Each structure stands twice: as structure tokens, then as C-alpha cells.
Amino acid sequence: MTRKKEADAEKVERVHKSVREAYSRIASGKRSCCGTGAKSCCGAPAPSKVAKGVGYKESDLAALPDGANMGLSCGNPSAFASLRPGETVLDLGSGGGFDVFIVAQKVGEKGRAIGVDMTPDMISKARLNAVKFQKQAGFSNVEFRLGEIEHLPVADASVDVVISNCVINLSPDKPQVWREVARVLKPGGRVAVSDLALRRPLPSAVQESVAALVGCVAGAVLIEETERMLRDAGLTDIKLNARDSYIDSMAGWEDPLYKDIRDAFPKDAKLSDFVTSLEISARKPAR
């Protein structure tokens, strides 16, 4: 292995370690009091309000087990995924299972909803939630697997739809993630991802902030770079829809995580001048 490859591998592992540790704290409710309960105690909206603010309906949320929604969404990928009964859906970075449980209801018992997450504490939380979900909603079509989204524990051409919600921006090797997405999709399979993307490069202070990385900001890339990575992975029919309203709503939050991010930006700039919530749709070519 060359020195460059060794340095790249070390960087990937450093980022994975930081993100894994941070999301372990989130899973156990130790990161902060925000986003982990029904009420906000430091200025961020309750998770249900966050979810509704990015497009989830009350009917989507009704059957969710307690604790599945941790307020970590930056969009609603299932809303534009055109899901059909019987399909197999894969969620990258599934956390406590929030989107997995929602898509499980949409694809029905003949379908399958699979979540992949690299944080053991999140997988444990999701599997406990799955037991509650089966009792509450009557669905037994969900599964959670431990793994990195750069190396998905999923067979080639086995998935109809790949979704993800505010996770791919955290990856230190995004081109590899998109190659993996293309690998696991069936021919003609679809992508429906909500992620953060950049309208212009971030200030250096934000790029260097670990808190900003975990908050999904410092790891984001330019919109045009996102499109290039999808094309390089062999995906087609790419549509990118930028939504700024969710980003602007963060400006008033007093959660320490978002406050640290906001304080690193120029005083006269809005967060949405640099960052947007991006709906990403694409397709793997049919044979």
C-alpha cells in the first residue's frame, strides 16, 4: 500500500470513528437533550415537528415505535421514492429505524425494508424498535444490518430502491458510496435520497469543525459534485431538487450542535447561503 493510500485509509477511519462515537451518544441520549425526546429542552423543535417540517405526514408517524424518530431528518425520501407494494428498499444510515419503519408500511408484508448502519448502538436500538413496530403495526418485514455504507452488506442487484436521509454527506468516501448504491440496485432500480449539499464552498472554520461534521454540514459537497459522482457511478435520470426552508429553520435553534455550526459562519450570512437540503432522484439503467 502506498503512503497516499495509507493516509486516505487513516482519514476514512478517523472520520468513521468520530461519527460512530457521536451517533452512539445520540442513540443513548447522551449527546444533548435535543432531538431525543418528545420535548425540546434547549431550543430545537421536538422530533415530530422536525419530521413534519420536512414533509412527513401524521399518518407516516402514527405507527412508529417510541424513540425511532430522533429528529435527524433533513428531508423525506419516501415521499418521492414512488414506492410500490412488494418492493425491497434499502436505507443507508438507518439509525433507530425511522425511515425503515415508514417504508415498511408502504411496501407491505410482501415487500422488505432493510436498514444498514455502522454504529452498533443504533443497530441495537433499531432492532428493539422493530419488535415494538411488529406489535404496534403488525409488520414483520424489517431487518437491520451492521455495516458501513461504503461497503454495504447487501448482495449485488438485490434492491429495488435505495433511500437515505442526511447520511451520505457524513461519508469520507462518497464516490465509493454511490458505486455501492449502483452495485446493490437491480437494473432499473431507483434512488431517493435526502442529503445536505453545498451551494458554495464552506468557510474553513466550518470545514474543520467535528461538531459541524456530525451535524451533516462540514461533510457536504457542492451540488454539481454530487451530480458528477452519481454519473460516474453509472446512475442516470438524475434529478436534484434543492429545498432551503429546512436549513433556514435551523437558524433559530439553540441546540449547541447547531449553534456551533451557525457561529462558525460569517455574521452577515445565512446557513442557506452555503447549504441546502437536496432531494436526489436517479435510476440504475435497465439491462
Angle at 119 between CA 176 and CA 51, to 5 degrees: 90
The ranges of the chain with pLDDT < 70 are 1, 4-8, 11, 23, 27, 29-50, 52-55, 71, 208-216, 249-261
Residues 197, 275 contacting (CB under 8 angstroms): yes
Residues 107, 89 contacting (CB under 8 angstroms): yes
For the chain, the structural domain boundaries read 3-194+277-283
The grid coordinates of residue 197 equal 449539499
Q: Which fold has domain 3-194+277-283?
A: Rossmann fold (3.40.50)
- DSSP-H helix ranges across 138-243: 174-184, 204-207, 210-214, 223-232
Residues 133, 162 contacting (CB under 8 angstroms): no
| Distances 150 to 137, 147, 222 between C-alpha atoms, Å | 32, 9, 20
Percent helix, strand and coil across the chain, each to the nearest 5? 40, 20, 40
CA distance 64 to 287: 37
What per-residue confidence (pLDDT) applies to 33?
Answer: 34
CA distance 276 to 258: 15
Which helix (H) or strand (E) segment holds residue 6: the answer is: helix 3-28
CA distance 68 to 139: 15
| Distances 218 to 209, 211, 222, 271 between C-alpha atoms, Å | 7, 9, 11, 12
pLDDT digits (tens, 9 = 90+) for 94-104: 999 999 999 99
The grid coordinates of residue 56 equal 412527513
Burial 263-284 (b: 16+ CB within 10 A, else e): ebbeeeeebbebbbbbbbbbbb
